[in-house]
Structure 1
Amino acid sequence: MGAKTLLDIRNLSKEFKVSGGRTLKAVNDVSFSISEGETFGLVGESGCGKSTTGRTILQLYNATEGEIYFNGENIIKMNKKQKYALHSDMQMIFQDPYASLNPRLTVTEIISEGMDALGMYKGDKSGKYDRVLELLNKVGLKKNHANRYPHEFSGGQRQRIGIARALAVKPKFIIADEPISALDVSIQAQVVNLFQDLQEEENLTYLFIAHDLSMVKHISDRIGVMYLGKLVEVSESVELYDNPLHPYTQALLSAIPIPDPKVEHSRERIVLQGDVPSPMNPPSGCHFRTRCAHAKKECESMIPQLKEVEKGHFVACHLY
């Protein structure tokens, strides 16, 4: 019997009103689920709607359409009090470790903010401080870091503080929004390894948002590929890399350098033509058709639906 579904996203859409009465559809009819203990990677170019999807799941944005089920309950239908209580189960780690920490607070104050907001350790200052030290140790920082300020740390250390802050309220589910993209390459692997270690120790479930496909492969069990607000392919990590079906996924994977010079020199690189269309005025039918070498007549008028073409491998493309 498979693991229990923790998060179930059904036909999620998020629109923003922009100047001139126009509408920007950042997330367009997206559906996927994540099981307990799983890491689901969400990848795609900048501006494809990955971060908006994460923020809408966490209710930092209100969904325009669709349903979000967490532990079997529809978050969208919850009242403010219920949503607030849910923050102990769902947390977010932000992309920029420089902008996401309050420069006026010490590390202890930053990490304990969530605990204070949810009424944990009421009147128990020593218990709260012990928990802060425990969290610092978990993320590879030292006791003497507790009373320092964010400007006294490197980028990698700041991201570790952000991870400790997310763990403070003992969540079941963490959305990591491009948590390594602002870090040096030498630090990225350390932070990804930390994510994996914490997942085992704390029994965590992740939505890992990134645009670096090579890094996502190492941490994710399954991967969803987004293009212009829509999910175009979902598969187990290894299967996606070995057998990419959607032309967009194939192009993304062909751009990843291979460390073997002979293989790198001989393989074919798929270069996409043109630019990403505006999400305010996407192409009719398949959004990818204007850049696709395989586009057919039906791609202009029919929106391809995400369907299972092999066991556990879903793709939204008229080629299949």
Structure 2
Amino acid sequence: MPETNGKEIGKEKIIEMKNLKKYFPMKKRQVLKAVDNVTMDIYRGEVLSLVGESGSGKTTLGRTVSRLYPKTAGDILVEGKPVESYSVKEFTKKIQMIFQDPQASLNPRMTVGDIVAEGIDIHKLASSKKERMEKVYNLLEIVGLNREHASRFPHEFSGGQRQRIGIARALGVDPEILVCDEPISALDVSIQAQVVNLLKKLQKQRNLTLLFIAHDLSMVKYISDRVAVMYRGKVVELGKPEDVYSNPVHSYTKSLISAVPIADPDFKRHEKVEMEETYLRSPVGDVSEINFVPEESELTEYKPGHFVETSFLVEHKLI
């Protein structure tokens, strides 16, 4: 049974991705391989973080798992069942998404009460108007807002408060999985820790499974049970935060870690980590070259619980 951050994670796989691909068509018969043959499991009750630079495929992977984007090839299983076997209603009750920009994700013409109650109304989780509003008030209080806020509109709130509204809306259907798409990147630094602490608290209280997408590696280390590093559509390294941060193996992971600022004026980095040009790949391919035949997983267990892209290990004679 995996154990991370002093917490025991169950053996049950709540999400399984097998050779998952998401390609976008481009001009001149080319395709952008945003997610390229990803095989990865997420266990019930864990926080798995996806990190990588902009354009690495993190958000596309999250949106494909959430069925906001149709997959190009491969399989996504939720609780052992293909996502296609769920109706939209069933699926959205299981998985909810928290978006990067809280202002853009909230309807400015709806009151906060109606926004939070969207899922409750769609899934008919309240038998009366009174029960509906009690659920709304309870959700607002859970995320640190007041019941009086229910009658206000999104523009009357700060960015951090709007993100709390988005979290309350996601919790309205009592989901098992939250896909958090860079939920703190649009917020002030002083507010980011508050939102992360709220998510961590809710995850423990409700035994939620979180797919946490971010580029702030210092924050990711704090909240995660496992970390997956994405580079040009592929997961190149996966493991517990202490392994990925303290003993990175892949060149790309090393370059990410070396760029994390350290609040210590006396600390000096002894080496500059650079990506090896021999490893750089273009994420763009020709339509005629697309092969949808399932391939074997590209990750190899380098050390117990610490996985690295197989081709990198072979190329550098590490296996």
Common fold, TM-score beyond 0.5? yes
Task: In structure 1, give the amino acid aligned to 2:55.
Answer: G
2:110 to 102, 105, 110: 105
Retained in 1: the 8 A contact 2:100–2:182? yes
Retained in 2: the 8 A contact 1:174–1:205? yes
Task: In structure 2, give the amino acid aligned to 1:91.
Answer: Q
Task: In structure 1, give the amino acid aligned to 2:234.
Answer: K
* Pair 1:312 & 2:315 matched: no
Q: CA RMSD in A?
A: 1.8
Task: In structure 1, give the amino acid aligned to 2:188.
Answer: D
Retained in 1: the 8 A contact 2:251–2:275? no
Mapped partners of 1:267, 1:259: distance in 2? 16
Mapped partners of 2:217, 2:269: distance in 1? 21
Cα deviation per residue 1:240-282 (whole Å; 9 max; x = unaligned)?
111100010001001111112112x3432324488x8653259
**Pair 266,119 (structure 1): closer, same or farther in 2 beyond 3 Å:** closer
**Pair 277,306 (structure 1): closer, same or farther in 2 beyond 3 Å:** closer
Aligned to 2:192: 188
Mapped partners of 1:183, 1:161: distance in 2? 14
Aligned to 1:216: 220
Aligned to 1:237: 241
Aligned to 1:294: none
Retained in 2: the 8 A contact 1:88–1:171? yes
**Pair 242,273 (structure 1): closer, same or farther in 2 beyond 3 Å:** closer
Task: In structure 2, give the amino acid aligned to 1:218.
Answer: Y
Cα deviation per residue 1:81-108 (whole Å; 9 max; x = unaligned)?
x232121110000000111100000001
Cα deviation per residue 1:131-159 (whole Å; 9 max; x = unaligned)?
11101001000111111000000000000
**Pair 266,307 (structure 1): closer, same or farther in 2 beyond 3 Å:** closer
2:272 to 251, 261, 269: 269
Task: Give the TM-score normalised by structure 1.
Answer: 0.88
| Unpaired stretches in structure 2, ≥5 consecutive residues | 3-9, 287-295
* Pair 1:65 & 2:67 matched: no
Deviation at 1:13, TM superposition (A): 0.2
Aligned to 1:13: 21
2:96 to 65, 77, 91: 91
Deviation at 1:228, TM superposition (A): 0.4
Task: Give the TM-score normalised by structure 2.
Answer: 0.88
Aligned to 1:140: 144
Mapped partners of 1:192, 1:38: distance in 2? 15
Q: Secondary structure at the match of 2:21?
A: strand
Aligned residues: 294
* Pair 1:48 & 2:62 matched: no
Q: Map of 1:154-173 to 2, 5 A cutoff? A: 154-173=158-177
Aligned to 1:37: 45
Q: Secondary structure at the match of 1:181?
A: coil
| Unpaired stretches in structure 1, ≥5 consecutive residues | 283-302
Task: In structure 2, give the amino acid aligned to 1:104.
Answer: R
Mapped partners of 1:251, 1:191: distance in 2? 27
Retained in 2: the 8 A contact 1:16–1:24? yes
Q: Secondary structure at the match of 2:31?
A: strand
Retained in 2: the 8 A contact 1:106–1:148? yes
Aligned to 1:127: 131
Mapped partners of 1:278, 1:84: distance in 2? 38
Mapped partners of 1:273, 1:306: distance in 2? 19
Mapped partners of 1:161, 1:20: distance in 2? 43
Deviation at 1:203, TM superposition (A): 1.1
Structure 1 stretches of 4+ moved >4 Å: 271-274
Retained in 1: the 8 A contact 2:44–2:209? yes
